[in-house]
A and B are shown apart, each in its own frame.
Chain A
Amino acid sequence: MPKPFPFSAIVGQEDMKKALLLAAVEPLLGGVLVMGDRGTGKSTAVRALAELLPKIETRTNCRYNCQPNDPQPACTRCQAAGAEKPALVKIRTPMVDLPLGATEDRVCGSLDIEKALVAGERAFEPGLLAAANRGFLYIDEVNLLEDHLVDLLLDAAASGVNVVEREGLSIRHAARFVLVGSGNPEEGDLRPQLLDRFGLSVEVRTIMDLKQRIEVIRRRDAYETDPEAFVASWAKRDTAIRSRVVAARKIMRQVAVPDAILFRLSQLCMRLGIDGMRGELTLMRAGRASAALDGRLEVNWTDIEEVAPMVLCHRLRRDPMDEAGTAPRIERALAALDAGHGHA
């Protein structure tokens, strides 16, 4: 398989790139939803991100991507004692594509027929959720996916655990992954209940700037002509992004959120009438990830302002016929908050 298109070579779409990087820094954010027109580089960006991120350490042929020093009970290979333990290996960050036609069996895992038939034993055949552990699970056209599958995925993504109770199997295994969904709103929307379970949501639009469009074509063409050389010529910039992410992950837990910022972001959420605490929590986490990406140890209001649209856009109570969309409402609320703050 040829190397994917480099992340740094993607023209424009800054919001999408930022959201993906935030999710890579802080997996607890709860996934990214990318809605937009066809051919705007959604899948390219996600595939590129997996290539860009640092490799993870696991054992050879582990089907659950176990941490070498913390094997999961479900994983028979990594549980093996002493010398039988498979060798350590570094693999690319897992990036699993979930096809539209996927069944529940394949997503969660099911009984391994081969073992059952040949050895007569009940063995578990891990599914896509196991394969995506410690990586990304990408669903193109998430808005067309069967509802029960979306429920299942969001549940696993939120809890980080996949629980299988079927065919006499009773298995739990870690499924900590960043869920990335994409879709085209013209082909039908996602149910509102599902929308707010995604941590971040960005809208991508086709690039309308002539120069940028041409640049997209030129780069794509150069990539197709000679993928190796093209990837090599962007390697430096990709490495720069990778080291930013690595550094951010390290300092992430030390980034402080001042009380004043927390107070203001709660005010913002109240002003926008957002139900529940998930919005505030995600906003805080996203702000922290954003500061960490910048290499700072304290969150400032600019971080919050920057991530607020991605975090809150899809949580606003929607007026289905609102012409302008929800982004301007957030901007207005931010502006109002700034003005109010000045007076106080």
Chain B
Amino acid sequence: MPGTAMHEDGDGPFGALQRQSEDRWRDALTAAQILAVAGPDIGGLWLTARASGIRDHFLDHLCTLNQPRRATRLPPGTTATALCGHLDIARSTAAGRIVWDSGILAAADAGILFIPMAERLDPGAAAMIAEAMDTGTCPRLRPNANEARHPSRVTIVALDEASAPEEMIPSCLSDRLGLHIQLDGVMLKTIKAVVLNTAPAPVTDWRSVRLDDGMMEQLCAISSATGHMSVRVLHHVSKVTRIHAALGGRVVAEAQDAVAALRLCLGVRLTQTQPSADQAPPPPEPAAARDAQSQPPPGDAGESEGNGTPQDLDSLTELLAAVEQGAVDGLTLTVGERAARQGSRTGKGGATARNVRRGRPFGSSSTPPFPDARPDLVETLRAAAPWQRLRTRLMAAQTGAAPPALLIRKEDFRYRRRKHQQASTAIFVVDASGSTALERLGETKGAIEQLLASCYVRRDEVSLIAFRGKAAEILMQPTRSLVAAKRKLAALPGGGPTPLASGLERGLEMALAARRRGSTPVVVVMTDGSGNIALDGTADRALAGRQTETIARLYRAQGLKSICIDIARRPRDSVTNLAGLLGADLHLLRQANAAHMSEIVRASMHRGPPV
């Protein structure tokens, strides 16, 4: 397989892409095989790929491999009731008594459950699926002591189509899915070149494969070093290592299995080779050394050639060293950070809009919340139920006709009311450059901390962008977590020139992303206004000024609410001009008075966008 690309393109950008494509596809196929062997024992597969022919092709292959298991597709927008059982209207009316459907999770028992658009999955539904994965039984919506829980041993395949970094599959799910595969970047050419092996994997008992303590320690060290602290993740890695060995017909797991498992579970792979000193023998390395992106780790070479070369022995040690140097490209490296972000999106919001068309149901009402609302059948039945006997008697007395099975009147109709969170997101764009840093950064940090604490009480989200040196950096995605924010703030350094344009650009992107999520962004720009670095990182004050103007106008054009806080010792015209361009409220802050600043931001958040 690797040979086909080599002679054509050798190296260069296209060659690298092609190799990456081949690696990913090969990994995906291995993952499919492992999933077929282990099934629910490793939770499932987290597939990062946009909807495409390639993804469909892979999923078809996956289904073929998993033959006896039935594939079920979760409908988008699935609710907790649909997952765990609900009133079966058709059968209830036919039978004349209440019949409850067992729900998707019970129906998918011993099968594969595909979750399309997993990044949009409702946290409640995700929690239900996670519980089913943990206990092997379907969570019960109706507590009933005399009814055994339905078994639900499902293998989950979560199709993650996230594009923006703040869209993530619920972390309670991603933590439980053993395998993580990425299909983006796989080329059609690669797929055509590889003949799919649909023969079922040789039946081996992977549980009898031995994994010695030394290797286990290394796996443990590598997964910790890559930021995967969860023991659950480590357990998945160890299982995948053994399954990989079993597929290769080995009874003792070898280093190549471990390397493959780390790649398949955590996406840990080398991005660049080691310093040339300890990089003497392996022949394929020098050509690839120039590649910035994905590059098969040494163990991978051993694997594809199917022999245990000496380099195999210390490939794990090498990988660990690379991880510690930060020279790996990890697909799921930032699971922890993502989890923090994900969590902050769910749960409680600040202001909520009631009687809206979408959102979480929170009750029912006898009047339709909006004109074309659909009645809630169960609630309607519930309202009508106590009157049935009376009504049938009344009807029999009045008309003498045999009453129908159910008498529902207009006043019985109930409508589901939904509420929708309209959280506010405060985006701080903070000048950490030398001109302000030395004097004010400490004060500003303190003020932001105070503000964060009050935002937390109000359940608003806060994010932080700092600009210094060559460009702006997103220090914190919108979060409500004090723990995460506190760490990021403490680590914020100061000094260097002022890339104001870049800061504003990042702030704009984040504000628009927040708005897409249905939140109301407020951008708080804290600067002394003297931008001197252009977007491309060059020290061109004139260009930087023009770019700043252009971006600032975009804020106004987008109708974003913004606040400009002048943190220079003496008021400067530059900040006043900037505020004018942004359409921002201008505030001067002689001393970073936290209470005052918090009040300003709070007032802006609750006034909504400017008119």
A→B interface (CB under 8 Å)? 1-2, 37-41, 43, 47, 60-63, 91, 96-97, 99-103, 106, 110-111, 113-114, 116-118, 120-122, 125-128, 130-131, 140-141, 143-147, 167-168, 184-189, 206-208, 210, 213-214, 216-217, 220-221, 224-225, 320-321, 323
Contact = CB atoms under 8 A, between A and B. Distances in A.
Nearest to A212: B231
A156 B128 CA distance: 24
Contact of B143 (A60, A128, A147, A214): A128
Contacts, number: 191
B149 A1 contact: yes
B503 interface: no
Given A121-B386, A189-B483, A320-B482, 17 more contacts: A43-B134, A60-B146, A63-B143, A100-B123, A101-B128, A111-B386, A114-B98, A117-B98, A117-B385, A143-B347, A144-B346, A145-B347, A146-B360, A187-B344, A213-B234, A321-B449, A321-B486
Nearest to A188: B480
A39 B494 CA distance: 36
Given A113-B98, A225-B207, A101 B230 contact: no
Given A97-B139, A206-B230, A217-B216, A188 B481 contact: yes
A26 to B, nearest CB: 25
A326 B310 CA distance: 52
Nearest to A110: B382
Contacts of B388: 116-117, 120
Contacts of B148: 1
Given A114-B97, A214-B216, A320-B456, A41 B381 contact: no
A323 B486 contact: yes
A96 B143 contact: yes
Contacts of B137: 1
B123 A144 contact: yes
A126 B343 CA distance: 31
Contacts of A103: 361
Contacts of A61: 145-146
A231 B248 CA distance: 32
A196 B137 CA distance: 33
Contacts of A216: 231, 235
Contacts of A220: 235
Contacts of A128: 143
A217 B234 contact: yes
A121 B390 CA distance: 11
B228 to A, nearest CB: 9
Given A116-B382, A187-B339, A214-B217, A321 B124 contact: no
Given A111-B382, A111-B385, A117-B98, A186 B231 contact: no
Contacts of A168: 386
B122 interface: yes
A182 to B, nearest CB: 11
Interface in B224-273: 224, 229-235, 238-239
B452 interface: yes
Contact of A113 (B125, B346, B378): B378
B223 to A, nearest CB: 9
A91 B360 CA distance: 36
A221 B453 contact: no
Interface string B337-348: 001101110111
Contacts of A167: 382
Contacts of A145: 347
A321 B146 contact: no
B105 to A, nearest CB: 11
Interface residues of B, number: 79
A185 B143 CA distance: 29
Nearest to B383: A167
A126 B143 contact: yes
Contacts of A96: 143
A214 B220 contact: yes
Task: Determine the main DSSP class of B at the interface with A.
Answer: helix
Nearest to A11: B231
B490 interface: yes
Interface in B384-411: 385-386, 388-390, 406
In the complex, the 3 A-B pairs of residues with the closest C-beta atoms, listed nearest first: A187-B343, A101-B124, A116-B385
5 contacts: A39-B229, A101-B125, A147-B348, A213-B231, A321-B452
B456 A189 contact: yes
Between A106, A143, A144, A224, the greatest number of chain B beta carbons within 10 A of the residue's beta carbon is seen for A144
Interface string B158-188: 0000000000000110010000000000000
Contacts of B406: 117
B468 to A, nearest CB: 22
B27 to A, nearest CB: 23
A99 B103 CA distance: 15
A117 B490 CA distance: 62
A331 B262 CA distance: 41
A185 B483 contact: yes
Contacts of A321: 449, 452-453, 482, 486
A147 to B, nearest CB: 6
Contacts of B216: 214, 217
Between B123, B385, B390, the greatest number of chain A beta carbons within 10 A of the residue's beta carbon is seen for B385
Nearest to B378: A113
A1 B346 CA distance: 31
A39 B238 contact: no
Contacts of B580: none
A187 B234 CA distance: 21
Nearest to A218: B216
B278 interface: no
A314 B234 CA distance: 31
B80 A99 contact: yes
A91 B146 CA distance: 11
B111 interface: no
Given A61-B145, A187-B171, A210-B221, A320 B453 contact: yes
A316 to B, nearest CB: 15
Nearest to A114: B98
